[in-house]
Amino acid sequence: MGLIITPLVGVLLDRWNLRYVLLATQLVSILLSSTLTFLTLSNNINVT
């Protein structure tokens, strides 16, 4: 699957502004880590 997706994503990344791509990936990372932190601190999930 990765052999098919990687060239397609590479073409798209060459067309997009690298700054906005990095900004978007960092924002998604912040959102995911914040969600996991909230769920852990509110005892909705347990880390073992």
CB atoms within 10 A of CB 39: 13
Residues of the chain above pLDDT 70, percent: 100
Asked, for residue 4, whether it belongs to a domain, the answer is: no
Asked, for residue 8, whether it belongs to a domain, the answer is: no
Asked, for residue 28, whether it belongs to a domain, the answer is: yes
Asked, for residue 10, whether it belongs to a domain, the answer is: no
Q: What is the DSSP string of 4-45?
A: HHHHHHHHHHHHS-HHHHHHHHHHHHHHHHHHHHHHHHTTSS
Total domains present in the chain: 1
Average pLDDT (15-35) is 96
Residue 47: pLDDT band (50, 70, 90) is confident
Asked, for residue 3, whether it belongs to a domain, the answer is: no
Decide if 40 contacts 48 (C-beta within 8 A): no
**Domain ranges, residue 41:** 17-48
